[in-house]
Structure 1
Amino acid sequence: MKLEKLKAFVVVADELNFRKSAEILGMAQPPLTRLIASLEKDLSTKLFERTTRQVQLTSAGIYLLKSGKEIIAQAEKAEREVRAIGKMRSGKLSVSFSRACFMASLPVIIREFQNRFPKIKLELQEERSDKILKGLKSGRYDVGFLDGTIADSELKNRAIRDEALGVLLPDHHPLAKRKFIEIKDLKNDTIILHSKKEAGGFYNAILRLFELSGIRPNIYVKKEKEICPELVASGKGLSLRISGSHPSHFPGTELVPIRNSFLPVSVFWLEENERQEFKSFLSFVTEKDILRSKESECLMEILPGLS
């Protein structure tokens, strides 16, 4: 099915008038009629019911109108991006992310974007969530990846994925040998959290998760220099985290998935950013196909320069 035929079909399907459609397309009516007939022959399907008085879509035509517009939009988007890549000699983007976003999705995004846009250099920086928000507003960062629920009227954002949550337990904990647990199983435990200043979105999302489950757990807010896995191993409490964000086994701990518990991950940006590199990255990040497959690797494993 040629795109030329599909575009002609969409115009006729919208107008339901061959004469008017021919005028819009800048062609005579007979060639347009032959083009639609050729498309119907290609598909072995009748797309229009035609009488001397009116033109109507068949059920197949109604379906093709919807999917055809999507196909045309994707083709036009691809054309724009290819032209932009061709014109783009070089460029760079500053990408920030929270520690909890050391997840499966982010390495996929970074790697695939670099494959598609090899001339754009990505400068990557892990930061606390409050510093990411400030950096975006000041122009230090072009985009930021943040976990949890954060509302900021000065920034645009879009959720790109819901990440599965797990709980890091001491290996001697009664729940440590389970294949998965329920959130209600944690009602009698102490939960270790980063401060709202360090990870406000994660903090809010975890408290909301317990609230919706009718649980009010004991909360221990760790000090900035304390390390969660060490606190867990020492018996100070348990730590909730994105399942893909625990790259290697920490001695004395086990990571167990929590059934039906997810943490939203979103990309944030300043609306005024008009740079082509930024637009290409944002368009790429919000493609659904890019995030379909999960990979159990950590961002740190593919970006050895970060620490």
Structure 2
Amino acid sequence: MEIQDFRCFVVLSEELNFRRAAEKLNMSQPPLTRLVKRLEQDVGVALFNRTTRTVELTEAGQYFLQEARAFLLHADETARRIRHATANASNHLKIGYVPIALHTVMSPFLNRCRSQFPQVELDLRERSTDRIIDQLHSAEIDIGFLYMPAYSTLLEFKRVYREPMALVVPADHAMADRSSASLREFANDIFVLHPRDENPAMHDEILRCCTIAGFSPRTLKQAHDQTCMALLLAGQGIHFVASGLDCLGSKGLHRIAISDTAPALELAIAWRKEDPSAVVKSLVSNLSTVCSQLRRLSSEGQSLH
């Protein structure tokens, strides 16, 4: 048995559905079925009662689930401690970030890293907020720039950037000549949204603001291999962007400020409470200095503390 076998078993035990478990594990269903049969052969008992409609843990399966979770907890903690010990002894700083952070808050931070620790090699990794938190927990990365709100009792968070979102519309949109408008005026438009799992808080905040404005938006979910701006240029809808971010890159699009209820983009830097490296300790102790270099710290022009 391998560690991944235990992880697959735990996911299936939680889902009690082979299709959903396989999707969550990013694998097809037949290999998961074979893995379970192999596990049952290894332990010599049935772990699941399976019918055409239901999947249930046997009594042996319930006991195995407790042991599997304990084993994985110990394995993950051991791996985390090894990675942290290695990181402290290395000259690498691994930084996870959501895409927009690279265009907003990271430049002064990276400049300080290079000036204060020229011997440290920076390893930048684009991630979702959820994955950044997971990899901070497991010590796969040392610092993360992520969307707020985010929560973890194991991490420290410091907000470093906030600004209201603006709407981007195609140049032939009926309101493309406006510099500002109320959100209610876009009630009949289709809103192009990123998949919710990329930033659940922002996705929900957009829907909440639309509700406050008095309507439920029609939405088009952006596929992972598409770009929102390409969809807008193709006339497929409108899209929220950071109001101060110069990322339109096309004369076929126009940005409109929202005069009433607009979602706000908030970014924070996160690091582990328990065991930051000496480099991380030094960098986060000077966050106020780094934050003062940001071009936009909040929609009101005030820094966040």
- Asked if these proteins are the same fold (TM beyond 0.5), I'd say yes
Q: Aligned residues: percent identity?
A: 22
Residue number in structure 2 paired with 1:173: 173
> Quick check: 186-195 or 224-233, which moved more?
186-195
Residue number in structure 1 paired with 2:157: 157
Q: Is the 8 A contact 1:91 1:121 kept in 2?
A: yes
Q: Is the 8 A contact 2:166 2:243 kept in 1?
A: yes
1:192-213 Cα shifts (integer Å, max 9, x gaps): 1111222223223323333444
Residue number in structure 1 paired with 2:238: 238
Q: CA deviation at 1:90?
A: 8.0
1:268-294 Cα shifts (integer Å, max 9, x gaps): 222223311111222233447524534
Alignment map for 1:188-267 (pairs within 5 Å):
188-250=188-250, 252-259=252-259, 261=262, 262-267=264-269
Q: CA deviation at 1:173?
A: 0.9
Change (3 A) 1:278 1:127: same
Alignment map for 1:70-85 (pairs within 5 Å):
none
Residue number in structure 2 paired with 1:284: 286
Q: CA deviation at 1:164?
A: 3.3
Alignment map for 1:82-161 (pairs within 5 Å):
91-161=91-161
TM-score, normalised relative to structure 1? 0.59
CA–CA separation in structure 2 for the residues paired with 1:241 and 1:265? 14
Alignment map for 1:30-49 (pairs within 5 Å):
none
CA–CA separation in structure 2 for the residues paired with 1:150 and 1:208? 18
Q: Secondary structure at the match of 2:176?
A: coil
Change (3 A) 1:238 1:248: closer
Q: CA deviation at 1:172?
A: 0.8
Q: CA deviation at 1:97?
A: 1.1
**Number of residues of Structure 1 aligned to a counterpart in Structure 2:** 208
Where structure 1 has 5 or more consecutive residues not aligned to the other structure, the ranges are 1-87, 296-307
CA–CA separation in structure 2 for the residues paired with 1:225 and 1:168? 20
CA–CA separation in structure 1 for the residues paired with 2:122 and 2:92? 6
Q: Does 1:268 align with 2:267?
A: no
Residue number in structure 1 paired with 2:56: none
1:167-187 Cα shifts (integer Å, max 9, x gaps): 221111122222233333332
1:187-236 Cα shifts (integer Å, max 9, x gaps): 22221111122222322332333344444212222221121111111121
> Quick check: 137-146 or 106-115, which moved more?
106-115
Letter in 1 for 2:95: V
CA–CA separation in structure 1 for the residues paired with 2:177 and 2:115? 40
Q: Is the 8 A contact 1:108 1:291 kept in 2?
A: yes
Residue number in structure 2 paired with 1:25: none
CA–CA separation in structure 2 for the residues paired with 1:117 and 1:181? 47
Q: Is the 8 A contact 1:148 1:204 kept in 2?
A: no
Letter in 1 for 2:160: I
Q: Secondary structure at the match of 1:209?
A: helix
TM-score, normalised relative to structure 2? 0.59
Q: Secondary structure at the match of 1:231?
A: helix
Q: Is the 8 A contact 2:112 2:290 kept in 1?
A: no
Letter in 2 for 1:144: G
CA–CA separation in structure 1 for the residues paired with 2:180 and 2:119? 43
Q: Secondary structure at the match of 2:199?
A: helix
Q: CA deviation at 1:240?
A: 0.7
CA–CA separation in structure 1 for the residues paired with 2:188 and 2:102? 28
Change (3 A) 1:190 1:120: same
> Quick check: 213-222 or 166-175, which moved more?
213-222
Q: CA deviation at 1:153?
A: 4.1
Q: CA deviation at 1:162?
A: 0.9
Letter in 2 for 1:216: S
CA–CA separation in structure 2 for the residues paired with 1:184 and 1:122? 45
1:12-68 Cα shifts (integer Å, max 9, x gaps): xxxxxxxxxxxxxxxxxxxxxxxxxxxxxxxxxxxxxxxxxxxxxxxxxxxxxxxxx
Q: Is the 8 A contact 2:169 2:176 kept in 1?
A: yes
Q: Secondary structure at the match of 2:100?
A: helix
Change (3 A) 1:118 1:255: farther
CA–CA separation in structure 1 for the residues paired with 2:241 and 2:258? 10
Q: CA deviation at 1:154?
A: 4.2
Q: Secondary structure at the match of 1:266?
A: strand
CA–CA separation in structure 1 for the residues paired with 2:207 and 2:154? 24
Structural RMSD (CA) = 2.9
